[in-house]
């Protein structure tokens, strides 16, 4: 009887929260972070015992069809090495850099040097992947009808700490399944990238900055967006409406995203999203055996959903164990107020992307 009472109480409490969850109309952009926060599908790196086991040699399936299982994995079971490309060489909990979320003491450092096939060097730009596999916690992908969204804070280090190479350095992306215009279904990976830019001005001075690019438009081309003139913290997010469209948001600082931070909406590759599988991160460098990537730090990657009318978060889970109770957005850690500074990566391959994702699978 006690078990029944506890389960009933949990279901009722979740249902009560869901009653107040905001509703959105199909196709209307909504701010990432809207709706129900899935705590056990997210991470804040506050656990001082957080660790990551690399299980080397890493995967390089994209280059040589070798996955080299088992892949790297965090001790909380949420973070996994990408099978298509390998684990970053450094995945480590670190102290939160200055200016981070109020109350945050831990964040995640991601960097890489040997980003190609283990034991060889391509002398080309390569990348490694780290996946936050919320689908493992849920026992399923998140259907687009649940209108998922994801957010993350990213710390851009001082310019002299970046890999001194123009081009893509970091990516934050969603692993999705979508439907092509011809009705076929396949994987695709929309997201945003940070590119390093160093050039001489007309006066002959060196000018350093970063640029946000978005993947992508209906043809799969990356779309240039904001310029970043100063290093420091930025907040990024993507939201997915039930019509299969993806909406992109970003701003300087660590405050929650708002409608003012909207960048664009699109059907990347002309595809309509069907399912959201996981949230993952790319780190890129020049694969020559001695050049390190930029040291990237992320904090508070989070997943949210807006339950379809009449449903509650508990119904999203397909695993036997009871899920952690999701929390309304307003109950999360307080964040610093958004600065008044400007709101101003591209995939490592910078050429135009073909019209369907299937032709670009090697680029994930």
Residue closest to 78 by CA, chosen among 112, 38, 40, 129: 40
Given pLDDT bands bounded at 50, 70 and 90, which one contains residue 63?
very high
pLDDT of 297 higher than 70: yes
* Dihedral (CA of 364, 189, 104, 297) sign: positive
Q: CA-to-CA distance for 29 and 212, rounded, in angstroms? A: 20
pLDDT, the chain, mean: 85
pLDDT of 36 higher than 80: yes
pLDDT of residue 69: 93
Please state, as a whole number, how many other Cβ atoms lie within 10 Å of the Cβ of residue 260. Answer: 10
pTM, two decimals, is: 0.83
pLDDT of residue 282: 97
pLDDT of residue 201: 83
pLDDT of residue 200: 86
Strands 185-188 and 296-305: unpaired
pLDDT of residue 302: 98
pLDDT in tens, 239-250: 999 999 999 999
Domains of the chain, residue spans: 2-363
pLDDT of 40 higher than 90: yes
pLDDT in tens, 311-331: 999 999 998 654 444 444 433
Geometric angle at alpha carbon 235, from 336 and 274, rounded to 5°: 135
pLDDT of residue 100: 98
pLDDT in tens, 215-258: 999 999 999 999 999 999 999 999 999 999 999 999 999 999 99
pLDDT of 205 higher than 80: yes
pLDDT of residue 331: 36
Least confident range of 90-99, 152-161, 346-355: 346-355
279 versus 349: the higher-pLDDT residue is 279
Average pLDDT over residues 342-349: 31
Q: Evaluate whether 274 touches 244 at the Cβ level (below 8 Å).
A: yes
């Amino acid at each position: 009887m006690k078990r029944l009472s506890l389960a009933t109480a949990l279901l009722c409490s979740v249902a009560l929260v869901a009653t107040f969850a905001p509703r959105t109309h199909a196709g209307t952009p909504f701010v990432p972070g809207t709706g129900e926060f899935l705590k056990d599908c997210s991470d804040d790196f506050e656990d001082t015992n957080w660790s990551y086991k690399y299980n080397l040699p890493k995967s390089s399936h994209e280059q040589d069809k070798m996955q080299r299982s088992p892949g790297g994995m965090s001790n909380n079971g949420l973070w996994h090495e990408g099978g298509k490309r390998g684990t970053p060489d450094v995945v480590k909990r670190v102290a939160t850099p200055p200016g981070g979320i109020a109350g945050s003491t831990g964040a995640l450092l991601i960097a890489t040097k040997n980003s190609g096939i283990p034991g060889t060097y391509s002398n080309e730009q390569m990348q490694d992947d780290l996946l936050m596999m919320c689908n493992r916690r849920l026992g399923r992908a998140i259907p687009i009808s649940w209108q998922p969204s994801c957010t993350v804070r990213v710390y851009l280090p001082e310019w002299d700490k970046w890999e001194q190479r123009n081009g893509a350095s970091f990516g934050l992306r969603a692993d999705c399944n979508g439907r092509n215009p011809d009705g076929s279904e396949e994987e695709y990976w929309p997201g945003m990238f940070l590119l390093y830019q160093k050039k001489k001005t007309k006066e002959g001075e060196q000018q350093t900055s970063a640029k946000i690019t978005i993947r992508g438009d209906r043809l799969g081309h990356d779309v240039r967006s904001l310029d970043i003139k100063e290093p420091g913290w930025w907040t990024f997010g993507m939201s997915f409406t039930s019509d299969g469209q993806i909406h992109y948001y970003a701003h300087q600082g660590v405050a929650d995203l708002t409608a003012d931070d909207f960048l664009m909406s699109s059907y990347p590759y002309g595809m309509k999203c069907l399912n959201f599988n996981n949230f993952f991160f790319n780190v890129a460098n020049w694969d020559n055996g001695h050049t390190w990537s930029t040291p990237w730090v992320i904090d508070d990657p989070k997943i949210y959903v807006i339950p379809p009318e009449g449903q509650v978060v508990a119904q999203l889970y397909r695993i036997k164990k009871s899920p952690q109770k999701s929390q309304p957005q307003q109950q999360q850690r307080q964040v610093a107020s958004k600065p008044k500074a400007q709101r101003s990566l591209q995939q490592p391959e910078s050429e135009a992307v073909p019209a369907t994702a299937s032709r670009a699978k090697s680029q994930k």
